[in-house]
């Protein structure tokens, strides 16, 4: 083997080693992004589930308050109709009027109770807030899912590119990985709504 052939062979080995080192660094970066994306995806799924449960609980509480309020409205109406009876003794009339006033206070308290945030108005507002949080988490989740898949495929393609010494395969994996990272970022930030993913 001549000296210039040996030098050329050493240059090729050096280029191959640099390619493998760079590809390994890219794999490490994509693996880190995959871990973060996986965490974001599982958190989005938990957020969606928890907020769906909370929204459902607040709607159920709202419905229970509404039923109780309706019972008080019916009772107050019945007492008010009875108050029109001229044969009603004064002491019974007075007791019925005080009951009607108490029922009306309870009806108003069930409608809105800002101190405890357990009036119908506040419960409905809280339920809708949890619905919005659930909907946001549900929008995030597909971006994380597709990002995970693309990052895994990228890692495999780059690994095969290293083993088979196919630079073009590593570049293809790198392009898929970059797209996966962008999808992951979009999952966290929801900057762009991609049709078919939301």
C-beta of residue 69 within 8 angstroms of C-beta of residue 77: no
Give the residue-averaged pLDDT of 85-100: 93
pLDDT of residue 197: 79
Residue 71 lies in a domain: yes
User: Is residue 5 one of the residues assigned to a domain?
Assistant: no
Residue 140 lies in a domain: yes
Q: Looking at residue 17, what is its pLDDT?
A: 82
pLDDT in tens, 144-160: 999 999 999 999 999 99
Rounded (10°) angle between helices 120-164 and 3-83: 170
Asked if the structure places residue 196 within a domain, the reply is no
- Give residue 128's domain range: 20-189
Asked if residue 29 belongs to a domain, the reply is yes
Is 52 contained in some domain?
yes
Q: How far, in Å, CA of 184 to CA of 156, rounded?
A: 18
Radius of gyration of the chain (CA): 34
b/e code 108-128 from CB counts within 10 Å (16+ = b): ebbeebeeeebbbebbbebbe
In a domain? residue 15 = no
Overall number of domains in the chain: 1
Alpha helices in the chain (DSSP H): 3-83, 90-111, 120-164, 167-189
Distance CA 45, CA 52 (A): 11
66 part of a folded domain: yes
Percent of the chain with pLDDT over 90: 85
pLDDT in the model for residue 11: 58
Alpha carbons 143 and 99: distance in angstroms, whole number? 58
């Amino acid at each position: 083997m001549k000296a210039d052939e040996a030098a050329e062979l050493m240059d090729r080995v050096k280029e191959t080693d640099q390619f493998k080192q760079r590809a390994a660094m890219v794999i490490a970066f994509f693996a880190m992004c995959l871990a973060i994306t996986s965490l974001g995806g599982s958190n989005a799924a938990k957020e969606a589930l928890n907020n769906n449960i909370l929204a459902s609980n607040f709607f159920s509480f709202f419905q229970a308050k509404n039923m109780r309020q309706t019972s008080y409205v019916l009772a107050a109406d019945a007492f008010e109709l009875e108050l029109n009876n001229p044969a009603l003794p004064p002491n019974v009339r007075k007791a019925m009027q005080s009951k009607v006033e108490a029922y009306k206070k309870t009806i108003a308290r069930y409608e809105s109770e800002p101190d405890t945030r357990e009036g119908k108005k506040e419960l409905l507002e809280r339920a809708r807030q949890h619905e919005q949080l659930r909907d946001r988490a549900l929008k995030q989740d597909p971006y994380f899912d597709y990002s995970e898949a693309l990052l895994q495929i990228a890692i495999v393609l780059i690994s095969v590119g290293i083993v088979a010494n196919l630079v073009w395969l590593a570049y293809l994996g790198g392009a898929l990985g970059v797209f996966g990272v962008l999808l992951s970022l979009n999952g966290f930030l929801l900057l762009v709504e991609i049709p078919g993913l939301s």
